């Protein structure tokens, strides 16, 4: 029983030391993020590529759809229609 | 006639011991949970199968010369497998949500109370006859509350290898049970109003912050807690590979092929520890019970800490995200999101909960380091 109470004391100290340390460690990390990283982020912002690339994508997307002239679209759809009609007649 | 006798003696049927049959059934139960219930299948399938293999009579899978024996000693006894998994987890982790809202680190810290409270509980179990947990055993059991499989296996292999099978089974089963264990605790500790709290949108995080962050964490671990550097070091390596942007091939290998290969071996190796003499005892029941307690206390302390933060912080903090502090990435964050949506269908907490979630991974690695330094030394 004496042994057990000694183990309890040890477990209690471990609990206290552990929680204090975990909080201290992660607390310092918070300070580090708030002080160092935020300043670094202000100093070296990400190069603004994303909006540009998005615009490019948008443009290329537009040109892709614009590139196909209405005449070609009409030709393709009429061809598809003819093909479907032929197939349905066969059946 | 004599050769017939020899033939009979070399069959499994003649050599089965009762314990082996029971452990094979345990293996089948793990397979059932993985396949039918989708409980952490990636690990439980190899683990359950390993449990079956290791209990085959005569085949000697876990004796010297047997496959599982070598897998265990090469990968788990040395700590290599859990550390490689941790590197992969690092390569999969995005610290963006944490860097954007650093005070969520406190939630990850608070949830580690589950670990240390369980340590106390494990020692208290010694009062019941049949339990004889040393401080090292108790620490290895308590880390189940960290809800982090590789960390639990790593610490158990260092502090209490004979309990490793039970600890790994408990850790992974409770991780799979997070969506069942956590919501009732979260609902009990918060009211409707608190669950409805909407949080401010997170600021965008720049690349340089994400690159410096793992290096800073490593540096701090080197300064303050070298015992945790195996875990934290591999984790930060994986994360740096992910964020630096110049080694995408390595990062993708770490989070896909490598982690998959290692998971197979880790599962088999842990399964090899599920032998009758080590698993079928009252201590295993104690470990399973303590694991559930550890999870619940961790969840509760995370939620309570978040409530406290909500009182004192200028920006509103939804207490539900505190529950995600018990790592179990990304399951716990999804649970927080889901419970939040029940109260307020327009409130998406997932990104906010990812902060405490990854903080919990760091927190449990730090807690494991403390236990290693104070108990293992």
pLDDT of residue B274: 93
Question: Three-class SS string for B286-336?
Answer: HHHHHHHHHHHHHHHHHHHHHHHHHHHCCCCCCHHHHHHHCCCCCHHHHHH
The whole-number average pLDDT for the span A39-63 is 64
Q: How many whole angstroms from its chain centre is CA B11?
A: 39
Of B96, B19, B4, B10, nearest in space to B274 by CA: B19
CB of B333 within 8 Å of a chain A CB? The answer is no
Query: Peptide bond preceding B336: is omega within 30 degrees of 0, i.e. cis?
Result: no
pLDDT for residue B159: 95
What pLDDT is attached to residue A85? 84
Summarised one tens digit per residue, pLDDT across range B16-61 is: 999 999 999 999 999 999 999 988 899 999 999 999 999 999 898 9
The whole-angstrom distance between B117's CA and the closest CA on chain A is: 7
Angle value at C-alpha B273, between B358 and B147, nearest 5 degrees:
15
DSSP string, B157-181: HHH-GGGHHHHHHHHHHHHHTHHHH
Any chain A CB within 8 A of the CB of B293? no
Sorting pLDDT into bands at 50, 70 and 90, what band is A65?
low
Q: What is the pLDDT of residues B159-171, one digit of tens each?
A: 999 999 999 999 9
**pLDDT computed for residue A34 by the predictor:** 92
| A39-60: average pLDDT | 66
Whether B345 shows a pLDDT value over 70: the answer reads yes
Q: Residue B31: its pLDDT value, please?
A: 96
Closest residue in A to B375 (Cα–Cα): A14
Give the residue on B whose Cα is nearest the Cα of A15.
B116
Q: Above 80 in pLDDT, residue A48?
A: no
| Range scoring the smallest mean pLDDT among A74-78, B81-85, B255-259, B297-301 | A74-78
Q: What does the pLDDT average to over B271-293?
A: 92
Q: CB contact, 8 Å: B81 with chain A?
A: no
Q: Region B342-348: what's the mean pLDDT?
A: 92
Residue with tokens 């619940």: B296
Amino acid A91: pLDDT: 47
Mutate to test the interface with A, among B99, B109, B142 (most CBs of A within 10 A): B109
- Between A27-31, A36-40, A58-62, B109-113, the lowest mean confidence (pLDDT) is in A58-62
The answer to whether B80 touches B74, Cβ cutoff 8 Å, is yes
Distance (Å) from the alpha carbon of A37 to chain B's nearest alpha carbon: 5
Indicate the average pLDDT of chain B: 93
pLDDT tens digits, residue range B142-187? 999 988 999 999 999 999 999 999 999 999 989 889 999 999 999 9
Residue B118 has pLDDT above 70, yes or no: yes
pLDDT average, residue stretch B275-288: 90
pLDDT at A1 over 60: no
In DSSP notation, B8-56 reads HHTSHHHH--HHHHHHHHHHHHHHHHHHHH-SSHHHHHHHHHHHHHHT-
Q: Report the percentage of chain A scoring pLDDT > 70.
A: 74
Structure confidence at residue A59 as a pLDDT band (50, 70, 90)? very low
Q: What is the pLDDT of residue B138?
A: 94
Q: Does B367 touch chain A (CB under 8 A)?
A: yes
Contact A19/B113, CB-based, under 8 Å? yes
The string of pLDDT tens digits covering residues B215-253 is 999 999 999 999 999 999 999 999 999 999 999 999 999
The pLDDT confidence band at residue B376, using thresholds 50, 70 and 90, is confident
**Number of inter-chain CB pairs under 8 A, A vs B:** 113
Give B316 to chain A, closest Cα distance, Å. Answer: 18
> What per-residue confidence (pLDDT) applies to A71?
84
- Phi/psi for B126 (5° steps) reads -60, -20
Percentage with pLDDT > 70 across chain B: 100
B71-109, pLDDT tens digit by residue? Answer: 999 999 999 999 999 999 999 999 999 999 999 999 999
So what's the pLDDT on residue A49?
64
Mean pLDDT of A23-46: 91
Mean pLDDT within B209-214: 95
Res A64: pLDDT: 52
């Amino acid at each position: 029983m004496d042994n057990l109470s000694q183990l309890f004391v040890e477990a209690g100290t471990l609990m206290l030391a552990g929680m204090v340390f975990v909080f201290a460690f992660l607390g310092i990390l918070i300070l580090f993020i708030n002080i160092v990283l935020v300043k670094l982020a202000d100093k070296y912002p990400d190069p603004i590529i994303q909006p540009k690339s998005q615009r490019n994508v948008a443009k290329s997307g537009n040109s892709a759809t614009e590139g196909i002239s209405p005449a070609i679209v009409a030709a393709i759809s009429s061809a598809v229609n003819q093909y479907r009609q032929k197939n349905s007649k066969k059946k | 006639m004599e050769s017939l006798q020899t033939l009979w003696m070399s069959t499994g049927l003649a050599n089965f011991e009762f314990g082996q049959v029971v452990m094979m059934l345990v293996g089948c139960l793990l397979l059932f949970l993985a396949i039918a219930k989708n409980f952490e299948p990636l690990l439980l399938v190899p683990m359950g199968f390993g449990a079956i293999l290791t209990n085959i009579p005569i085949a000697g899978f876990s004796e010297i010369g047997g496959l599982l024996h070598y897998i265990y000693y090469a990968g788990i006894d040395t700590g290599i497998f859990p550390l490689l998994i941790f590197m992969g987890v690092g390569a999969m982790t995005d610290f963006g949500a944490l860097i954007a809202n650093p005070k969520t680190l406190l939630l990850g810290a608070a949830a580690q109370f589950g670990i240390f409270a369980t340590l106390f509980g494990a020692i208290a179990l010694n009062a019941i006859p049949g339990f004889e947990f040393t401080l090292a055993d108790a620490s290895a059991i308590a880390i189940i509350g960290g809800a982090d499989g590789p960390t639990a296996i790593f610490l158990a292999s260092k502090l209490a290898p004979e309990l490793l099978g039970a600890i790994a089974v408990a850790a992974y089963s409770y991780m799979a049970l997070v969506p069942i264990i956590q919501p009732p605790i979260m609902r009990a500790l918060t009211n409707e109003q608190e669950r409805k709290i909407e949080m401010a949108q997170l600021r965008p995080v720049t690349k340089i912050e994400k690159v410096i962050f793992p290096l800073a964490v490593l540096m701090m671990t080197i300064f303050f807690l070298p015992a945790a550097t195996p875990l934290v070091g591999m984790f930060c390596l994986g994360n740096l590979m992910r964020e630096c942007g110049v080694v995408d091939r390595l990062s993708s290998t770490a989070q896909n092929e490598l982690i998959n290969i290692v998971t197979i071996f880790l599962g088999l190796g842990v399964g090899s520890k599920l032998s009758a003499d080590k698993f079928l005892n009252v201590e295993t029941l104690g470990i399973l019970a303590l694991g559930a307690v550890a999870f619940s206390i961790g969840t509760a302390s995370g939620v309570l800490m978040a409530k406290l933060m909500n009182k004192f912080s200028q920006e509103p903090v939804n207490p539900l995200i505190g529950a995600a502090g018990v790592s179990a990435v990304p399951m716990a964050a999804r649970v927080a999101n889901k419970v939040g949506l029940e109260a307020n269908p327009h409130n998406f907490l997932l990104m906010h909960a990812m902060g405490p979630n990854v903080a919990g991974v760091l927190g449990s690695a730090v807690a494991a380091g403390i236990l290693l330094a104070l108990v293992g030394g």
